Structure 1
Amino acid sequence: MSVLLRYVMIVVACICLLAGMQLPHLADQYAKRVDATLREVTLNFQPFLIIANQHTAGNVEALIAMHRQSNVAAFKAEGDAIERMYQRKLRFEGEAKALKTHLPGRLWHVAFRADADLREQTLIQYNATVPLTQDALITGGVVALLMLLLLEAAMAGGRRLQAVLTRQINHRWRGAA
């Protein structure tokens, strides 16, 4: 049984190593998607920024307020559209800033704080590779080590539980005789 268990542990370690090696690549793909989206929204927002520079000293909020205060319904609606685009630009600037950190910080951000739509798109279009970068190898090794430690702890707990149950059953068995 222990030989089979060792082979199972080796297989688990290999799977975790390969899965862990994907994490830096996934974070990189997400960062590229954020960058592309930020570039697109910045390009689309550029004309409004030029108008804000000409008429409101670069104050985008003042430009939005001017549109909303207009008596013309189309200009009021345009104020809402400009604000949505501006908020989207600010959101992706925040995403890009959050991703400019160390690898564990990027992985944490992608896992728990990322833009849900972009993360979903990244996962849908993700192609698994086996990158042989230092980050990928270290991350894969850490994931494999953590999983093996968790499995070892679970097996030790199972052995301890088995020993306690065996003692209780043997005690009751002897007491009944």
Structure 2
Amino acid sequence: MLRSYLRLALFALGLLVGVQVPGFVDDYGKRVEAHHLESEQSLKGFRETARLFFKADLQALVAHYRVSDDPVMRSDAQSVGQLVERARWLAEERQAMQGPWYGQLWHLATAADNELLEVTFQAYRYQVLLAPEAIAWGIASALLLASSLEWLLLMFAWVFGAGQDRRARERHWR
């Protein structure tokens, strides 16, 4: 009976952990989107200047700043270059987070920005979503966790002879 309750508790734990996955992925995507919008806003004036004088090429604007005779312009070239690079990177990150759910999850697991992941995790509020993908993740996680732990315990019991009577053990050791 205790074993059945432990199985149910393990299943419930897996279910609760599994339903967090879609919420976390969604929060990370929203964080990337917010950073992307802020980045685009900070480049707005530079984009207009590049449109007027460099056929909308921000790299040409940065190159112009770098070779300028004005030391202030040369100094600003690095800052503008960093803004342009960050905007490009955030656009790629945003694109990755707009794909299918398995692509988003793979991106989070393999190529997501560690800083954004950490900030998202620190700000994440545990939630139970009743969206179909959250329910699917919850059930899959619960079944995986419960069955893998049960198999692990059964293998452990088999290796150490639990569940065998004394005569069966003696027969195997002769």
Same-fold status (TM-score > 0.5): yes
Alpha-carbon distance in structure 1 between the residues aligned to 2:52 and 2:147: 62
Q: Does residue 1:108 correspond to 2:106, yes or no? A: yes
CA shift, 1:20, in A, is 0.7
Superposed, which structure 2 residues align to 1:37-116 within 5 Å? 37-116=35-114
The letter of the residue matching 1:75 is M
Alpha-carbon distance in structure 2 between the residues aligned to 1:127 and 1:112: 23
1:149 alignment partner, one of 144, 147, 150: 147
Superposed, which structure 2 residues align to 1:23-42 within 5 Å? 23-42=21-40
Alpha-carbon distance in structure 2 between the residues aligned to 1:101 and 1:14: 30
Partner of residue 12, structure 1:
10
Q: Does residue 1:159 correspond to 2:157, yes or no? A: yes
Alpha-carbon distance in structure 2 between the residues aligned to 1:143 and 1:102: 19
Residue-by-residue CA offset, 1:10-43 (whole Å, 9 max, x unaligned): 1011011011101101111111111111001001
The letter of the residue matching 2:121 is L
The letter of the residue matching 2:79 is A
CA shift, 1:76, in A, is 1.0
Q: Does residue 1:128 correspond to 2:99, yes or no? A: no
More helix by share: 1
Alpha-carbon distance in structure 2 between the residues aligned to 1:107 and 1:60: 32
CA shift, 1:9, in A, is 1.3
Q: Which runs of 5+ in 2 are unaligned?
A: none
Partner of residue 20, structure 2:
22
CA shift, 1:138, in A, is 0.3
CA RMSD of aligned residues (A): 2.0
Residue-by-residue CA offset, 1:21-77 (whole Å, 9 max, x unaligned): 011011111111111110010011011111111111111111111111112221111
Q: Which runs of 5+ in 1 are unaligned?
A: none
Alpha-carbon distance in structure 1 between the residues aligned to 2:6 and 2:21: 23
Q: Percent identity?
A: 27
Greater Cα offset, 104-113 or 142-151: 104-113
The letter of the residue matching 1:13 is F
Count of residue pairs brought into register by the alignment: 169
The 3-state SS of whatever aligns with 1:127 is: coil
TM-score by length of 2: 0.89
